[in-house]
Amino acid sequence: MCGIAGYFLNKETLGSRLEILKVLESIRKRGPDDEGVCLISAKKQKYNFYKTEKTIPALSNSLSHIDNIDNAIEHDIALVHTRYAIIDLSEGGHQPFISHDGSVIAVFNGEIYNYIELRKELAALGVTFRTKSDTEVLVEGYRVWRDTLWQKMNGFWAVALYDFYNRTFMISRDRIGVAPLYYRELSNGFYFASTIQTLVDISPYNIEINEDVMMGFIQTGIKDHDNTTYYRSIKSVPAATAVTFPIESYKFQDSKKNTFWSLPLSRIDKKDYSLPEAIRDYRDTFFNAVELRLRADVKIAFELSGGLDSSSVVAAASLLGHNITTYTADVKGADELPYARSMLERYDIDFHVISRIENNFHNDYGEFSLLMNEPYDNPNDYTHNRMLNIMKLDGFKVVVTGAGGDEVFAGYESAFWTKVYNELRKKGIVSYFHADWYEFLRRFKTLKNLSQTMKHYAFDPFKFLYAWIFQRNRNIIKKQHPTTALKHMQRYTELSAHEQSLFHFKVGLLPYYMRSSDYFTMAIPIEHRFPLLDYRMVELGLKLPYEYLFNGSWTKYITRKAMEPYLPEKILWRRKKSGFYFPYQHYLYENRTTFEPLLSYLKNFNFDQETMGSYENLLKTDAVKLWRLISTAIWIKFNLAKL
């Protein structure tokens, strides 16, 4: 992953060196290995490349410095890049990158995992390559295939490019929205960047807070929905979308939007798709998704939580013949170590345990808020950041994770089961417990699982979050200010089971998780890879019959059956992963003198009393909501103080 930024200005405006330095400064942490700038005059069809003080030495002598204003051409497009080198560590991966024939110049953040296969396709069409980078494959692929390129790529990306042949400026974002890409329209042009803060810094004096987003997050915990941010004028480019601007207009509304991928709208009936077929397709797709994400010219580590998904990723990588280094967190209240260690019985793993993670959050919350750009719903993001820092210090630049499996294969059964049960019953399938008792009874199926069950009810973070977001206090919620997030939440219960699954991909979970994950990883920087969010795995998970996801008393049944030959029984048929629950109530009680005074920063915003609540009452009744208020107050104090 890297950092990209730049602008596309109107006909009357010329870019300035000062603006380039502004956008460059705020994305520098994302790309410590190299930097580059390209200035383009769309009017005159000219361009020039520039270096900074951090451009790699191999190219430094051939480029003028961006600080030398005498050498900067008059321009209306700027492409800025800071590089975190993962594939082709040489100068061959330097950006901005120009195609072999000079018709396309691009900046790119992400990884194209199937770049080797695409390179072979392009070579067969007569394309010659100068480097071994996936960036060149992307640029030459666009030159040859234009907008059909995006369907061919497997990976994550945020791209901005200028096409001299068609005289168009365009941006594109990957299917799932793993790579962030934000934009802001000002009177003089269109600005884009990998971070929100970049676009704030461009013109901080006329920025407006989006109180609908702010209040909706406090009410519900939902954010990053509808491509909005905490700033009215800053929005996110929709996932799975390529946006092409005609040269005569920088307005987003005037652009052509090409949605090149969509989530499955319905599920296959099991009579048309047998369980053995589904298991075969799962294995084939999953193993290939893991294999593609092991392509790198740097050291790769694996997160191993002891759960089904991360263990499956480690097993697949081991079976594919790779040397495996794993990291497991020893976290109080989440006894994952015995499960993670059981993988050593099957595989030769370099096994690391991260214990006694120093928790200075009560001292670091201000700095961490600046890192995250916006309020966030769980201080465990800070803990995760500290863990990844340890991996980076050990020399790893990429971390592969099992995250996403629950969203894809309905692991959060408490979120889906009621609707699934009702829909299966309508089909005449009655071999399941009634919805109200399913979740409770399955955990007490044997006495052996009693201990796990009790821990689950004490430490299941998603069920706790779900209960507050989608179920609790509905009558009170209806009386609150009708924010967009609140309207989404109120509609949730009316959706079908499949629509609820899509909701979490588009609104409820994935957009926020992708953004927060990007921020707390790229601040290090270290790259997160998600095999279970490979678009083919997503398509498979969202088309499978529910009978293959919920079978008897088991959830994620398809994953268990597909991985049955490869995982220890202790992990494979485990009732519930405890998860790394953050002890909101205890922590906010112990650190009350630190956090309670921060709530005064909310006084200038129009929160109604039911949205606010007092520290004392919320500590007893809704500590998660109390944290959202505190997180928002921290953001106001530290992030808005910069404006």
| Within-domain flag for 449 | no
Task: Specify if 21 maps to a domain.
Answer: yes
DSSP letter, residue 231: B
pLDDT tens-digit series, residues 185-198: 999 999 999 999 99
Percent of the chain at pLDDT exceeding 70: 88
Predicted confidence (pLDDT) at residue 370 exceeds the cutoff of 90: yes
- Let me know whether 384 and 516 are in one domain: yes
Q: Six-digit token pair at 287?
A: 């193993």
Beta bridge partners of 352: 327
Is 128 inside any structural domain? yes
Q: How many domains are contained in the chain?
A: 3
Do residue 222 and residue 294 come from a single domain?
Answer: no
Give yes or no: residues 305 and 383 share one domain: yes
Residues 159 and 282 in one domain: no
Nearest to 85 by CA among 134, 153, 130, 118: 134
Q: Which two tokens stand for residue 353?
A: 């345990």
Q: What is the pTM of this model?
A: 0.91
Range of the domain at 601: 591-643
Q: Is the pLDDT of residue 450 over 70?
A: no
Burial class (CB in 10 A: 0-12, 13-18, 19+), 112: buried
Whether residue 87 is found in the same domain as residue 23: yes
Q: What is the domain-level CATH number for residue 379?
A: 3.40.50.620
Query: Which CATH number fits the domain that encloses residue 241?
Result: 3.60.20.10
pLDDT at 472: 44
DSSP letter at 325?
A: E
Residues 290 and 361 in one domain: yes
In a domain, 420, yes or no: no
What's the CA gap between 508 and 511, in Å, rounded? 7
335 falls in which pLDDT band (50, 70, 90)? confident
The confidence score (pLDDT) of residue 132 equals 96
Side-chain-facing half-sphere of 537: CA atoms under 13 Å? 30
**141: burial class by Cβ within 10 Å (0-12, 13-18, 19+)?**
buried
- Is 583 a domain residue? no
| Beta strands 324-330; 234-236: pairing state | unpaired
Q: What pLDDT is stored for residue 608 in this prediction?
A: 67
Q: 150 and 254: one domain?
A: yes
**Same-domain pairing of 173 and 45:** yes
Question: Is pLDDT at 493 greater than 80 in this prediction?
Answer: yes
Same-domain pairing of 251 and 313 = no
Which pLDDT tens digit goes with each residue over 86-132? 999 999 999 999 999 999 999 999 999 999 999 999 999 999 999 99
Q: Express each pLDDT in 250-260 by its tens digit.
A: 999 999 999 99
Strands (E), 138-261: 155-163, 168-173, 182-186, 189-193, 234-236, 241-246, 256-259
Are residues 83 and 120 located together in one domain of the fold?
yes
* Residue 64: strand pairing partners: 50
> Does residue 179 come out as left (phi exceeding 0), alpha (psi in the -120 to 50 range) or beta?
beta
Same domain as 59, residue 9: yes
Give pLDDT, residue 68.
76
Tell me, yes or no, whether 397 and 529 share the same domain. yes
Q: Which of 541, 572, 603 lies at the terminal end of a domain, its last residue?
A: 572
**What tokens were used for 113?**
């995992």
